[in-house]
Chain A
C-alpha cells in the first residue's frame, strides 16, 4: 500500500524567502505524485503533478517540485514567497496498479504555510 509523509505540519517564511515543503512517499510500484493547495473553506486546487519523464515539474503560481526516486521524495519549492501563498498544501500519491487503486488518492497530513510580511 502507498503512503505519504509530509514533514512539518507548519512552515513559516518571510515574504520573498524560499518556500520548501517536504513530501516523502512509499509505494511498491512507480507512483504518480501530486501537490494540491487548499485555501480556507475551499476545495483542493492542483498545483502540479509528476507523471513520467522529466523529474523537475513546474506548476502554477511559480511552484515546482522535483521527483527523486532514490530518496522517495517529491518536495515542493518556490523561490520567492508571496503573501497570497499562505494556505495548506497537500502531497498526494496514486499508483496505477488497478483494482483497489482506482480513483484513490492517498494524501499526506498537510502543511500549513504562513507567510510573514
Chain B
C-alpha cells in the first residue's frame, strides 16, 4: 500500500510569489491534515480536510489556504510569500478523520525556501 505522497519535495520561491503544494493520501483515507514545521515554532497545525470540507483550521493568516478533491487528494496554497514561510510542510492522512486514537500517517514533506 503506497504511503502519503507529497510533491514537490523541494521548492524555492521569491517573496511575494504564491505556491501550491500537493498531497496524495493513503488509498481509502478521507482525512488530510497539513502542518508547518520550523526550527523556531516546531510543528504547527494548519488545517484539516475531510470529504472535501475544511473541518478545522489552525492559527495562520488567510494567505494559507487549502482544498480537497473528491479523490481525497489535497492541495495547500500560500499566497504573497514571506521569508518566514520558509518551512517543511507536512501532510498527514487518516482513515476516518482524526477521531480519537486514529493515527495520522505523514508524508515526507515539502521543503519550501522563500528568498
Contact = CB atoms under 8 A, between A and B. Distances in A.
B87 interface: no
Interface residues of A, number: 27
Q: Which 3 A-B pairs have the closest CB atoms?
A: A103-B48, A103-B98, A51-B101
A70 B98 CA distance: 26
Contact of B106 (A45, A52, A102, A103): A45
A104 B98 CA distance: 7
A117 interface: no
Contacts, number: 74
Contacts of A94: 98, 100-101
Interface in B93-115: 94, 97-101, 103-109, 111
A101 B101 CA distance: 12
A21 B112 CA distance: 30
Contacts of A114: none
Nearest to A48: B103
State the main secondary structure of chain B at its contact with A: strand
Nearest to A90: B43
Interface of B: 4, 6, 31, 33, 35, 42-43, 45, 48, 50, 55-56, 58, 90, 92, 94, 97-101, 103-109, 111
Contacts of A104: 33, 45, 48, 56, 58, 98
Interface string A30-54: 0010101000011111100111100
A49 B50 contact: no
Interface stretch (A11-19, A78-86, A105-113): A105-113
A46 B33 CA distance: 15
B48 A44 contact: no
A51 B100 contact: yes
Nearest to B45: A104
B99 A96 contact: yes
